[in-house]
Amino acid sequence: MLDLSSKSLGLWAGLGTAAFLGYCIYFDNRRRSHPDFRRKLREKRKANSKGASSSGPALPDFGDQEAVQRFFLQEVQLGEELLATGDIQNGVEHLSLAVAVCGQPHSLLSVLQQTLPPQIYHLLLQNLEVAQQRVRVHASSSLMSSLMRGQGAEERGASLEIEDVE
């Protein structure tokens, strides 16, 4: 029979751990020595730095009303959740983006004024100009790209409607 004393159990556990670490080191070395590893790592870092440079969430295509509505609802929900967890700055940022893309910003602002504490509401008003500017820039760039592609007047009209919300 096998004698499974604590000494032999510890020996087997140590051998298993050493084998696992050897396995990890071996395959990490193979991964790093692959010819494409450095190129892929540079591309990944470049993609991450581009994603980090654009602050906040990605804005929707303003030619697609459903995408704008989904974005609006998502931003309101995320803003409320962040405010509830105590992340005031990010919550206000998401709510200000929701107001900026909203079809009825004045009515939404009146609802938010009644439901939010005054200091948070004032912070929202301060961030609103930045959010509106960001939406205007994104809407005009998407309008220009649709004009360059030669898309129909219906889509250009939808982009203009979103831009006139202010």
Domains of the chain by residue range: 6-52, 56-163
Q: Is there a contact between 101 and 162 (Cβ–Cβ < 8 Å)?
A: yes
Residue pLDDT, tens place only, 29-42: 998 898 888 888 88
Distance CA 13, CA 108 (A): 62
pLDDT at 142: 67
Does pTM top 0.85 for this prediction?
no
- Res. 160: pLDDT tops 80: no
- Find tokens 């938010």 and name the residue: 112
* Residues sharing a CB contact under 8 Å with residue 130, sequence separation 6 or more, in sequence order: 96
The fold of 56-163 is Mitochondrial Import Receptor Subunit Tom20; Chain A (1.20.960)
Least confident of 32-41, 55-64, 74-83, 97-106: 55-64
The angle formed by the CA atoms of residues 6, 7 and 8, to the nearest 5 degrees, is: 95
